[in-house]
Amino acid sequence: MSANSQNPQKGRDFEIAVKRWFENHYSMPFDNNKPFEIGNPSKPHRFDVVSYDNSIVAECKCITWTETGNMPSAKIGFTNEAVFYLSFIQNAKTFIVIKKSVHAKKSETLAEYYYRTNRHLLGNTKVLEYDDELSVMRTIED
């Protein structure tokens, strides 16, 4: 079994952990992989974590620095695609939740790096960093 073959399960586990955090933090139910109408004409797009009342929408990215400390460029591209989809949501709080990832060669976490280099794309979407080992969420901002 290759190392990458476990990635889909790791991603699902991360989404479930983020969903639990949102439910505890906001004291309301959330769904995973919930369709939400976006665009004009509207079309449903499934988002990773959505509140029962559709007031909060989040996309989860269980991404890490590469073994050698490089930025995972393809995965950053998919994160930007998720930000693009979130940009169509008008009447809800939107979040990109990135797994906490540190590397000995880096002075910032991957979420901090993402925010620093891509904040011009974010609009109203907030970047959150989730430490799934400690169940701690923090907002990445200036």
φ, ψ of residue 122 in degrees (nearest 5): -75, -30
pLDDT at 71: 84
Are the CB atoms for 127 and 115 separated by under 8 Å? yes
In the structure, what pLDDT confidence band is assigned to residue 97 with cuts at 50, 70 and 90? Answer: very high
Per-residue model confidence as pLDDT tens digits over 41-59: 999 999 999 999 999 999 9
Mean pLDDT of 14-41: 96
Cis before 29? omega within 30 = no
Counted domains in the chain? 1
Q: What is the mean pLDDT of the chain?
A: 93
pLDDT band with cut points at 50, 70 and 90 for residue 104: confident
Residue 93: give the domain boundaries: 3-140
Please report, as a single letter, which amino acid is at residue 132: D
Please choose, from the candidates 100, 89, 125, the residue with its C-alpha nearest in 3D space to the C-alpha of residue 18: 100
* pLDDT band at 5; cut points 50, 70, 90: low
Contact 98, 117 (CB under 8 A): no
CATH number at residue 107: 3.40.1350
